Amino acid sequence: MALNAAQKAQMESGKGFIAALDQSGGSTPKALSLYGVEPSDYNGDAEMFQAMHDMRARIILADAFTSEKVIGAILFERTMDGEINGKPVAQLLWEDRGVVPFLKIDKGLEDEANGVQVLKPMPELDGLLSRAAQAGIFGTKERSVIHAADEAGIEAVVAQQFDVARQVCAAGLVPIIEPEVNIQSQTKAEAEEMLASALMRHVETLTADEIVMLKLTLPEKAGIYDALADHANVLRVVALSGGYSTDEACARLGRNTKMIASFSRALTEGLNVKMTDDGFNAALGANIGKIFDASVA
């Protein structure tokens, strides 16, 4: 299946950033709490996920959430399966907002070993990829975490990520490979050096038609991922905020000119369920403006 040419062009050279709207399971209560929706406000998982869906719908339909500044959005599986205003979400994103839809496919992380957490097995991945392609999803995202500068651990993370990436490419989608480096790591800079070289080794093994994206923690050494961004098999390198405040994340991003943002927490910072629509649109618009400016810097 050929990639959507307009979507590919937008991801390759579009000005703007990717909104990460894919908090799931464990991170949902925290994300809702930051938005002013407390556990006492919902009863059970169904109501919790509905509250999250309502928050995401409000963001997606906000005035500033268009391809003028937001070129892509990463969705949680339930969001892909849901609708906004009676329209499947991926379809609405692309047709009404001009935003390229991605899907978070990982099922969480294994316990830490060798300073890293690899992906849990995904036995149903082929079925999910097939559903995603049918739904009009352009690409996927899968996240592992690196806690320490351990060569063996980092190699395990990257090798596994590229195995998954090949499966995603075979399904006609573009994988966003996300080996996050924990911003609290005592050996963050060294881990990033190891990661940059491991990623390059594996990118070099891709065939011409295996196109990937990389989602990486904002690095200690500016420009460390530039060679990857310039590689023919890498459509784009995007940055995760990783717990940095919006201002800190944007400042770091501005120093990495070949990366654009893919922020979640920084995008929704300061938003509250009780805001009027005008207040909500203004607050979200300010966050989007700030992240956009850092992405095009």
The active-site residue out of 141, 188, 215, 290 is: 215
Q: Are 280 and 271 in contact (CB under 8 A)?
A: yes
Instruction: Give the integer Cα–Cα distance in Å for 119 and 85.
Output: 34
Catalytic residue, chosen from 104, 141, 155, 178, is 178
Cα angle: 172, vertex 176, 178; to 5 degrees: 150
Q: Are 111 and 83 in contact (CB under 8 A)?
A: no
The strand pairing partners of 213, in sequence order, are 176, 236
CA 75 from centre of chain: 8
Please return the burial class of 147, using the count of CB atoms within 10 Å of its CB with bins 0-12, 13-18 and 19+: buried
Token look-up 């005592």 returns: 186
CA 285-263-283 angle, to 5 degrees, is: 20
CA 287 – CA 91 distance, rounded (Å): 25
Q: Is 269 one of the catalytic residues? A: no
215 catalytic per annotation: yes
Residues catalogued as catalytic: 178, 215
